[in-house]
Amino acid sequence: MRPLEEQKKPPQEDPILFAHRGGCAEAPENTLEAFSRSVSLGVTGLESDVWLSVDGVPVLSHDNKVGSFGRRVMITKSLRSEIPEKVPSLKDLYTNFGNDLNISLDIKDPNSIEATVAVAMSHDAVHKLWVCHPDLNVSTPWRQINPKLKLVDSPGKKGFPEGGERRAFFLSDNGFNAINLPESLWTAGYVELFHKYQLKCFAWDAQLPRQINRLIKIGIDGIYSDHTDRLVSAVN
């Protein structure tokens, strides 16, 4: 029988630290300024939302409407050239920050998925692209687009009414890589369950140090926060 020291589990890897909307507590959300600040602090992931312009450009914004009051435009009804420059495209993100970071994208506009994957592929970054959506009927077919992209189930605050075991089995059986739940829904038991099915466990809306520390303690694999300085401090 091996000595007790050799029977211990390997040390847990640090979770991916995702700057939610670029780290919107310290800078305007989904801007290159916010992304740059968070990267300088030491995050290992950036999060944003994607819409598709009329000319097929994936644009990063939480809302479809962008621009100043009285001059707002809808991304899905505008050319990229008609959208304010301060609203970055996915290409802008990779051009400025390279392909070493994990990129998590909430696919607000399902029409954007193929163009989103194509941009990531053109920057040799699809293996670090985590695509999220709340509707399994929409996201499940995305596995066929590229076997290397990371597919994330993001059911929102409703969680999984059918039960954790059934949800985990479906996700594992359909090629998902992770499940993303609000911080408040995560328990150590759920982490253990989804890990059993080889699924990563991500948590969003972790804003307070006590929330972030609790998630690290129970073994969460990725944490989204507006406060990227708190994320980095907790891990360090």
Q: What would the pLDDT profile of 54-84 be if each residue is shown by its tens digit?
A: 999 999 999 999 988 778 999 999 999 999 9
Whether 181 is covered by a domain: the verdict is yes
Residue 236: the pLDDT is 86
Instruction: Specify which residues 132 forms β-bridges with.
Output: 106, 152
Q: Does residue 74 form part of some domain?
A: no
pLDDT score of 33: 97
Q: Is residue 65 domain-resident?
A: no
pLDDT of residue 70: 72
Q: Does residue 195 form part of some domain?
A: yes
Q: Pairing state of beta strands 150-153 and 178-182?
A: parallel
pTM: 0.93
CA pair distance 223, 230, nearest whole angstrom: 11
**Euclidean distance between CA atoms 64 and 50, whole angstroms:** 9
Q: Quote the pLDDT of residue 11.
A: 59
The percent of residues in the chain predicted with pLDDT above 90, rounded, is 91
Element (H, E) at 153: strand 150-153
* pLDDT value of residue 13: 83
Q: What is the torsion angle, in degrees rounded to the nearest 10, for the CA atoms of residue 227, residue 228, residue 233 and residue 236?
A: 150
b (16+ CB within 10 A) / e for 66-80: bbeeeeebbbbebeb
Per the structure, the complete domain to which residue 198 belongs is given by 4-50+88-235
Q: How many folded domains does the chain comprise? A: 1
Q: DSSP 3-state assignment of 53?
A: coil
Tokens 């479809």 locate to 64
The answer to whether residue 162 is domain-embedded is: yes
pLDDT less than 50: residues of the chain: 1-9
Q: What CA–CA distance (Å, rounded) separates 203 from 179?
A: 8
Which pLDDT belongs to residue 182? 97
- Whole-angstrom distance, CA of residue 154 vs CA of residue 143: 15
Where residue 121 sits, what CATH number does that domain have? Answer: 3.20.20.190
